[in-house]
Structure 1
Amino acid sequence: MNIDTIALQCFIAVAETGSFTKAAERVSRTQSAISQQITKLEYLLGKSLLVRGKAFTLTPEGEIFLGYARRIFALHREALDRFKDPDLEGEVRFGLPENFASVYLSDVLADFSRIHPRILLNIECDLTLNLFDRFKQNEFDLVLVKMNRPEDFPNGLDVWSEPLKWVGDASLIDPKKPVPLVLAPQPCVYRASAIQSLQQAGRAWRLVFSSPSYTGAVAAVRAGMGISVMPQTMIPGDLQALDAVWLPNLADTHVSLIKHTASNPAINTLEKFVLHKLKH
């Protein structure tokens, strides 16, 4: 019996989400189909891959197999992409926020360039509102933008939504003193959300560190200079999100891809590639 990629995809989804329900949503299959694929893998390998209980965790054998599964599935996708559109060529001007480039897309874009060597990627990082203004001036073919509300960019293709969190040392927060903030300069969506929520709550604030760089903001928070705002999935493992009791709730952040035309195969291929990587 051979290992098929559907079974690998299902196993990876369960391992990464810790839930059959979420895994089923991710791969667009039923929970029963997910369970059957995992059972098939375990029968083939002769090992239990999951510890089944209220929450699913990986067995030691499952942890080892997850590394193989990811590599096999990634190679499978790369082979399909490489030979499905071997003749694509052209230039794509892609704009995105620096934090997304740092956290999510550096490896993704390297993979894309390897699979489609005849497509020239011209990539530039900037703040979201600057990206959108330059996109309207036709300086970019495709932009990845952050927003507080989906209607901010009505023509965007929704990628995902997630909560924004306050991040930093709770001991820096004193109800009698202004909240020390580590934020990007204007115009920044996260900055606007942080300041608006504090003003609505009647909380005073002061800016102690300003940098357009995600890496710079993380360093400032690690140094104990102040409190920053980050999407939940971008919070480094050594930093903590603050409970809502300390500061007012923040609105969710939404991420969209926007492009000018649907007729350019090179642009469409990059869009599809980025969407697949970000959603999986």
Structure 2
Amino acid sequence: MTGISKSKLALIIEYDGTRFCGSQRQGKGVTVQSELELALQKLTGAAIRVNLSSRTDAGVSALGQVASFRNASTVPLEKVVKGLNHYLPEDIAVQAVCRIPDDLDVRRHAVSREYRYRIWNSPMPSPVMERHAHLVSGALDEGLMDTAARMLIGTHDLVSFASRMAKFEKTTVRSVHEAGVSREGKEILFRIVAGSFLPHQVRNTVGALIRVGRGKMTLEEFGELLETKIPGTAGPAVPGRGLCLVRINYLRDLGDYNENL
């Protein structure tokens, strides 16, 4: 990496994805990127394009999304967080800002991404959990689900867990560093850390894990999904509202480049 840039900044963003059409700017609909760019324009008076570290679908939330942009304004760094949060809607908040090297690409240079999916396993709905968890009323065996989830650890062709209609990059092989399922009371949590993900991979994976937990798919059948290599074989995809992007990991913590303010 080159030296620390005076103009390239990285933001750590938290957002409730309920009302957004996704993170990336689209032809229509409100997105996290469009709201960030609008707030930046109000703060700086300039049209600034931001680059997001990871794409999230409609309804998906984030605790640690990273956005970078080049700052040509005269707004002092220590006022960026407060200024942006003043202009941003209540469902998006900047948690930190730091200067980063000019050649650090927050998307391409991410070494891993961590997601979690929340399942509310109860015969009764929970108004409090409804916005950020998927209700499954029938019994689920989280032990079997955890065993199945751990089969994903390693390097595999995960095309069976991707959307049938997805447009793929050069390869559908992905490296999963951590994966597992745990329960606390009525809440079941799926956690996965990987270098990158295929379209709808996590939501299709959770759909398959629920089938395992219900006894509608054996562990052997789940393992066969790694060999099938047919898009859309896993699933069905669960709703986006239970999914959250927890953290983006780099070779160095972004805060190490420059003091967080």
| Greater percentage in strand | 2
- Larger helix fraction of residues: 1
Greater length-normalized contact order (CA 8 Å, ≥ 6 residues apart): 2
Say which one has the larger Rg.
1
Per the TM superposition, whether the score is higher than 0.5 is no
Instruction: Give TM-score, length-normalised by structure 1.
Output: 0.24
> Normalised by the size of structure 2, how large is the TM-score?
0.26
